[in-house]
Chains A and B, each alone.
Chain A
Amino acid sequence: MKIVNSAAPKKDGMKLATGAPVYTNDLAPKESLIIKLLRSEHHFARIKHIDTSKAEKVPGVACVLTYKDVPNKRFTRAGQTYPEPSPQDWKMLDEIVRYKGDEVAIVAATTEAIAIKAMKLIKVEYEVLEPVLDYKTATEHVSIVHPETDAFTHFEFGFKPEKNIASSYFVEVGDYEKGFEESDVILTRNYETQATHPAMMEPVTTYTYLDHTGRLVVVSSTQIPFHVRRMIANAMDLPMSQVRVIKPRIGGGFGCKQSSASEFFPALVTLKTGKPAKIFYTRKEIFLGTTRRHPFYFEVKIGATKDGIVKAFDVKATSDTGAYGEHAGTVMSACAEKIMAYYKTEGYRFDGKAVYTNHVSSGAYRGYGKTQGGFAIESIMNELAHELNMDPTELREKNIIHLGDHLRLGTSHVYDEDVTRQDTCELEYCLKRGREMIDWYNKYPSVKVSDTKVRGVGMALAIQGSGVLNIDSGSATIKLNSDGFFTLLISATDMGTGCDTILSQMAAESLQVPLDRINVYSADTDVTPYDDGSYASSSTYVTGTAVRKASDKMIETLKSEVAAILSVPCDQVTYSNGVFRTEESTLTLEALGGKLNRKQITVTDSHVCDKEAPPYKAGFVEVEIDLETGQIHVVDFVGVIDCGTPINTNLATVQAQGGMLQGIGMALYEESERATNGDEKNASFLTYKLPSRKDALITRVEFAPSYEPTGPYGAKSIGEIVINTASPAIMDAIFNATGIRVRKLPITPSKFYELLEQNRA
């Protein structure tokens, strides 16, 4: 059978495309109370006095809640496996507000208009505090963003609130000092990446109600239903058994919905009022009340021989986690662990800290630290190539790891060699194929188009994870139904990526039935099995392995049922393509389903990520630069990806095209900008521009022939890696075209023109 590695249409595709009401906001009960959040108008302040009496009197208002009414508890909104590495520094509502947009009060009313009207009647007196606005100097600032004494961490991750440090991560790998000693050339460069926004199209939305037994039901557009259940139970002091979380269709996430930005508020309102409650973030609130990519500042040192053998890296990194430390440490460690791991060096050092400021919180966004770190490492590799007068692709060829080599993870854990050995690694193939596709040798470094236009090519490599080693886990439950079809229950959260379909393809392939004999359902914590959720590029690789295991288990279970029915020893039963056979007889799945109709056959299996099987990518870009205006136009962007064997060729391709376009946005214009007074300047799609159809169409994506033996049907991950090469490759193409090195993202025409002028002067 060939159901995997095919272009199967998404199972939910037609209902999505024809406009069926399948998202959280479409499903919420009409009588839900509507929640609005009053948000802080100061970067940093203490609430001296808050008067809600007028607001409460507005007809239609169900409740107005302030910090005095919420559980006095600190926790993190970050959706991570318990015990979460993120500092427990967030309170549903706090006496101290830490950024302009921080929640001050919850208003629940019968309509949105009433809620807004009431919200405006809340009187707040603030004691305004001196805010920390520059993350590069935050550790020295007199203000402490988290002065409270009840913030804590579950385990040591460098949490030093008195220095405004949310998390830090330091690691030494191999003998980097020796590496630098052996180097002929040492370069030191600084790089800076900006706050970009996941900007999924469906706003953050949740509704809650009490069910017929009085339990709290939370329906939410979330990537992390089981984490939400745990967090809500903890926050509300409820036994976990009293919380049920349901995830309908998700209109995109990209990490934004890996934090629990919206769930606590309606949950509390429903518990207080007994009524259904709904919260639907405006786009402005998504910009100001959820999370975005951590901005990073890197100081990078690289050492190499004059023949281009890279000997050592030394990286100092500072990231801006904003007001809360959500994903702060793990974005830093994710960066440290992998960005230098695919180069053979004597060793490297990484020293990073994520600092608190009075800005909107940073959090998870596709790429999760590797996008930022990849920009720094791949950029300095390109700079090194130039310094050595060497073709950057050839520099890579001398230094990358290959199949059978070991990843040099930036971690102090000692892993078994089986874990770090690369059973697939087609980096070299990706590099060579990409070079061929872009016609590198004819175009490198640049081609003059006219007196005012020049084209340049540039490249970069990338790595990501396929789930987090020893942490990410997924499960699959498979039921046989009486007609012989199967139900696949999972809690991976398809946010448009198509994992419902991809995991069904695996089940169908394993169970040897057509895809339409698999019904898939996700996710409901009452019904579907435990999964960390869909993040860290884990669904295909980790949950997929669980699906394979469960499918195999199902076949074995059914074989023993058949053996019992036919009174033959189990080992005499074979199964293929929906038919069980013994020497004497055959039994179809349909028939077996019928015979077992009073006995439910259900199997479940789980898988914890136990192998480093990262995807690899080479990105090659060609830009055209208008030397008169500084406009940079991406004319071609080639991606060659080793994601193992794609389970769904269409969906893998579209992941790549979408991710690469997000990468272009990050490189050229996407940025949550701030005024000098710290105010957010562009918290809307009117001013935070996403790439449109006219900006670039990425048509050239290819997959390296690759089969990961530890992955389900040879698969590794693809969801995140695709965003990684755009920035370093585009900046290198710009350099190759103009001799100008851009080390700070993004590069808009206005900014690039200034560099052109400086260069001309």
Chain B
Amino acid sequence: MKIKVTLNREIKSIEINPDDYLSEVLRDNGCKSVKRGCDKSTCGACTVLVDDKPVLSCTYLAARAEGKSITTLEGEQEEAMKLGQLIVAEGGDQCGYCTPSLALTAIAMKRELVNPTEEEIIHYITGNLCRCSGYVAQLKGIKKYMGVE
């Protein structure tokens, strides 16, 4: 079957199978920032935005995306640079495998939450697991990005 989506602001028609998950479809279409980490809806490494909301693309069937707007970090490079610099300055990038999805979640958070507290920030990004960093350095960078001290 075919789906018509807006992928990173570009209208695309993509041939898929009904049981394809969005993560693999996006990777096949060049969005390698979308990572496979757990296959069980838990690690957050596959996060993409569907109509501006962060979702697990490993759990979101591609067929569902019909008519929707999909954003991966490839489509948010300007924000990714801003946020990336803040995370990297703290040493929070580490192995980097979870970082693109964390960045994308934080970008969505910035658009969704107004003046969040530290607790609200942690809550929003809890679905992004990281095994390397212990989370503190990432949080420092993200708080700066959110304009929260």
Chain A interface (Cβ < 8 Å from any Cβ of B): 7, 9-10, 12-14, 16-23, 25-26, 198-203, 249-252, 254, 280, 282-284, 495-498, 648, 650-651, 653-654, 656-662, 684-686, 690, 692-694, 697-699
B113 within 8 Å of A (CB atoms): no
User: Considering the complex, which residues of chain B in the window 56-101 have a beta carbon less than 8 Å from any beta carbon of chain A?
Assistant: 72-74, 77, 80-81, 83-85, 87-100
Of B38, B45, B95, B97, most A-chain CB atoms within 10 Å: B95
A23 to B88, CA, bound (A): 18
- Cβ distance B109 to chain A, nearest Cβ, rounded Å: 13
Bound: A692/B133 CA distance, A:
11
Complex partner residue of A699 from B37, B100, B132, B136, CB under 8 angstroms: B136
> Does chain A have a CB within 8 A of B115?
no
Contacts of B136 in A (CB 8 A): 654, 657, 697-699
Closest chain B CB from A429 CB (angstroms): 23
Majority SS of interface residues in chain B? loop
* Chain A positions within 8 Å of B55 at CB level: none
Chain A residues near B43 (CB, 8 Å)? 201, 685
A18-B103, A201-B129, A694-B126 known; 16 new pairs, CB 8 Å cut-off, are A17-B83, A19-B73, A19-B99, A200-B132, A201-B95, A201-B132, A251-B96, A251-B97, A252-B97, A252-B132, A650-B90, A650-B137, A654-B94, A686-B42, A693-B128, A694-B122
Q: Which of A18, A25, A252, A698 contacts B95 (CB 8 A)?
A: A252
**Distance, CA A684 to CA B39, complexed state (A):** 8
In the assembled complex, 21 residue pairs joining A and B whose CB atoms fall closer than 8 Å, in A order, are A9-B88, A10-B88, A18-B73, A18-B77, A18-B84, A18-B103, A21-B33, A23-B97, A200-B95, A203-B36, A252-B131, A283-B38, A283-B40, A284-B39, A684-B40, A685-B129, A692-B126, A693-B139, A694-B126, A697-B136, A697-B139
Residues A17 and B40 in contact, CB atoms below 8 Å apart: no
CA distance A202 to B132 in the complex (A): 11
Contact B134 A698 (CB under 8 A): yes
Complex CA–CA separation, A14 to B86 (angstroms): 10
- Whether A21 and B32, one on each chain, are in contact in the complex, defined by CB atoms closer than 8 angstroms, is yes
Chain B neighbourhood of A659, CB < 8 A: 134
* A-B interface contact total, Cβ < 8 Å: 181
Query: Which of B32, B93, B129 contacts A690, CB < 8 Å?
Result: B129
Determine which of B45, B93, B128 lies in contact with A13 in the assembled complex, contact meaning CB atoms within 8 Å: B93
Given A17-B99, A693-B139: A658 touches B88 (CB 8 Å cut-off): no
What is the number of residues of chain B that contact chain A, defined by CB distance less than 8 Å? Answer: 51
In the bound assembly, the distance between CA atoms of A249 and B129 in angstroms comes to 19
User: Shortest distance in angstroms between A584's beta carbon and chain B's nearest beta carbon?
Assistant: 44
Q: Is the CB of A693 within 8 A of B125?
A: yes
Task: Report the separation of the CA atoms of residues A733 and B97 in the bound assembly, to the nearest whole angstrom.
Answer: 34
Q: Is the CB of B139 within 8 A of A17?
A: no
- B residues in contact with A14, CB < 8 Å: 81, 84-85, 88
Q: When the two chains form their complex, are residues A693 and B135 in contact, meaning their CB atoms are under 8 A apart?
A: yes
CB <8 Å contact, B39 and A282? yes
Please give, as numbers and ranges, the residues of chain B lying within 8 Å of A199 by CB-CB distance: 131
Residues of chain A lying within 8 A (CB to CB) of residue B96:
12-13, 16-17, 22, 249, 251, 496
**Which of A7, A25, A254, A657 is in CB contact (< 8 Å) with B133?**
A657
- How far is A657 from B134 in the complex, measured between Cα atoms in Å? 5
* One of B40, B42, B72, B139 near A19 (C-beta < 8 A): B72
- Say yes or no for B35: interface residue by CB 8 A criterion: yes
* Residues from chain B with Cβ under 8 Å of A19 in the complex: 32-33, 72-74, 80, 99-100, 103
Closest to B137 in A: A654
Q: Which residues of A contact B73 (CB under 8 A)?
A: 18-19
Flag if B93 contacts A17 (CB, 8 Å). Answer: yes
Contact A658 B100 (CB under 8 A): no
Contacts of A249 in B (CB 8 A): 95-96
The chain B residue sitting closest to A251, CB to CB, is: B97
Q: Is the CB of B40 within 8 A of A18?
A: no
10 tightest Cβ-Cβ pairs between the two chains A and B: A496-B95, A19-B33, A16-B96, A657-B134, A251-B97, A17-B84, A650-B91, A13-B88, A19-B100, A21-B32
